[in-house]
Structure 1
Amino acid sequence: MSSELDWPARYLAQLATQRRLSPHTVAAYRRDLAVLARLCEPAAIETVEHAMIRRYAAKLHGEGMSPRTIARLLSGWRGFFAYLAEHAGLAANPVDGVRAPRRAKGLPKALSVDAAVQLMTANTHGHPEPAELCNRAMFELLYSSGLRVSELTSLDLAWTDAKSLSWYDLAGGDVVVTGKGNKMRRVPVGAPARAALAAWLAVRPPAQDGSAALFLTARGARMTPRAVQQRLKQHAILSGSPVHVHPHVLRHSFASHLLQSSGDLRAVQELLGHASITSTQVYTALDFQHLAAVYDQAHPRAKSK
């Protein structure tokens, strides 16, 4: 195998052009390969062998890197060497058989039903300004439909043309979003969220660039995920929330509360846009935690020894 070609650059170009991964995902793969290049310097990364990968994983763990991050790095490296096997004649993938250190499996953080309702109904401004109406519509929609923050900010006012990927269907009372893997799904929007959206649309100014973005910043630009995070964090603080709240907490809360009420894991999977039900099953543990808490509080012999 020739080491004269810039294989990392060719691999990243293939991810961007042929597999059409998002710029953020390609950037993440680039960072993964940069870590590998640093570890094996001065050797070229396409010359790395199995024993070296094992040493690198152990080294990173010894430096304090979390098992989750190491597992993600190994996954990224494995994809690169699979590409080399296909295009450069690499005999074997050196990452195969290398596992990240074991990690404790944490559960996603979700608000209680009461805390979620309190957060949604809290009035953190004395009167409804356009920014407050925009915030309320975004937060209600995140909790009502379980959207990822990137899906929320990609929403347009309505379907405009064949290039539209995500939009709010006012007539249908739902949103159509394109999530991970370019998988499109339609998700219902609850009545409080629809009312909040109507209030926001009544005062929404024209977008600065003339786009059909549903949510806009104060300057008339499409809302960014970072701006949503900052606004939600500030809203949670002002509303007296005892925990840090970020957009994914509302997604977790949506899934947990829906599962508690319906028990329909497949439906929750479809609404979240999970490719595998394994990703959705973590919410069954949250549901059990809720049931256990109810038992501890209500059963007369729950605390009996």
Structure 2
Amino acid sequence: MTDDELGLVDKYLEHVRVQKRLADRTVELYSLDLQKLCANAAHADVSLLKVQNTHIRRWVAQMHSGGRSGRGIALILSGWRGFYTWLGREGLVPSNPVQDVRAPKAAKPLPKALSVDDAVQLAEFSDEEADPWLEARDNAIVELLYGCGLRVGELVGLDAKASTAAKGWIDAQAGEAHVLGKGGKRRTVPVGRKALEALQRWLEARALAQGAGEPALFIVPQGRRLSAKTVWARLKRRGLQAGVATPVHPHMLRHSFASHVLQSSSDLRAVQELLGHANIATTQVYTRLDFQHLAKAYDAAHPRAHRLKK
């Protein structure tokens, strides 16, 4: 790397510090990114002013294979892109070699699901010191979320009785939940015995409330329809009380429902229908969860699974 090229880097950093008034920490990060660019160019025996699109793509591939995250690579590319944009405005390069280069997409994190033991522990938890009315309601909420795989919006949208205006309702006689999902798509989900028993206890408690005339199935003590925000707060609190190590939220119970059904049945298409996914590719993430579960069981049980310790 020539002194002239290093001078260009220094001049650019001075530009972003003075002209663009970037924070000192940001300038420091830009400097580190450009040091990496200089090192790559030197290793490839190419001048900074002669770097091509193919060089950038090769260096991105090397960073990715070296374990750097997609987000980290994107930040580095942003620094490089700004440098070459400035060089272009100075008339020093004919085009920006970073312009159409994008970082690899970061892998979507797996949805977090409870273990079967934790899910059952949460569902069977009973707070003897709590208000019996709230206890009956919250228990029914847990049983329906975990037992039916409902979205929290679908849950709070349920009415106590079926009607033409209802977004959703539960037919206790048939053991079915009728819900209105994303995109206005209706679906019917079976409701298990435990959920029906919890629902019956809640309906008996609900009938004594001042909001018994409210159409919503789940209500607050003041009689209004329960909000999704309140469900989140109550579940988090209940998870802590039940001794579940992982913070619990409504979608975690939906993930747990899907994962546990798939572990038992291996019927991906059925899980897709139960969840109301329009595309089976959305449901396929649970096959990764299922494999993760099997891999953990293998590591724990198989005598040849453990790696040798160095």
- Say which of 191, 194, 206 aligns to 1:192: 194
**How large is the RMSD of aligned CA atoms in angstroms?**
2.2
List per-residue Cα deviations over 1:134-177 (Å, max 9, x = no partner): 000011100000000000000011212x2222111121111100
- Say which of 218, 238, 243 aligns to 1:240: 243
Cα pair distance change 1:103/1:165, threshold 3 Å: same
CA contact (8 A) 1:158 1:170 kept: no
Helix, strand or coil for the counterpart of 1:168? strand
Partner of 2:114: 111
Partner of 1:133: 136
Partner of 2:168: 166
Shift of 1:215: 0.6
Matched, 1:176 2:178: yes
Shift of 1:105: 1.9
Cα pair distance change 1:135/1:105, threshold 3 Å: same
Unpaired segments ≥5 residues, structure 1: 1-65, 71-96
Query: 2 CA distance for matches of 1:262 and 1:220?
Result: 40
Percentage identity across paired residues of the two chains: 52
Which residue identity does 2:275 align to in structure 1? L
Partner of 1:27: none
Shift of 1:121: 0.8
Helix, strand or coil for the counterpart of 2:138? helix
Which residue identity does 2:162 align to in structure 1? W
Shift of 1:186: 0.2
TM-score w.r.t. length of structure 2 = 0.64
TM-score w.r.t. length of structure 1 = 0.65
- Of 123-132 and 109-118, more deviation after overlay is shown by 123-132
- Say which of 279, 283, 286 aligns to 1:283: 286
Which residue identity does 1:125 align to in structure 2? E
- Say which of 217, 227, 231 aligns to 2:230: 227
Query: 1 CA distance for matches of 2:270 and 2:180?
Result: 18
Matched, 1:102 2:120: no
Helix, strand or coil for the counterpart of 2:238? helix
Larger Rg: 2
Query: 2 CA distance for matches of 1:199 and 1:113?
Result: 24
Shift of 1:207: 6.0
Query: 1 CA distance for matches of 2:102 and 2:216?
Result: 43
Cα pair distance change 1:296/1:222, threshold 3 Å: same
* Length, aligned pairs only: 211
Query: 2 CA distance for matches of 1:193 and 1:98?
Result: 52
Which residue identity does 1:142 align to in structure 2? L
Query: 1 CA distance for matches of 2:103 and 2:202?
Result: 47
Helix, strand or coil for the counterpart of 1:249? helix
Cα pair distance change 1:178/1:289, threshold 3 Å: same
Helix, strand or coil for the counterpart of 1:136? helix
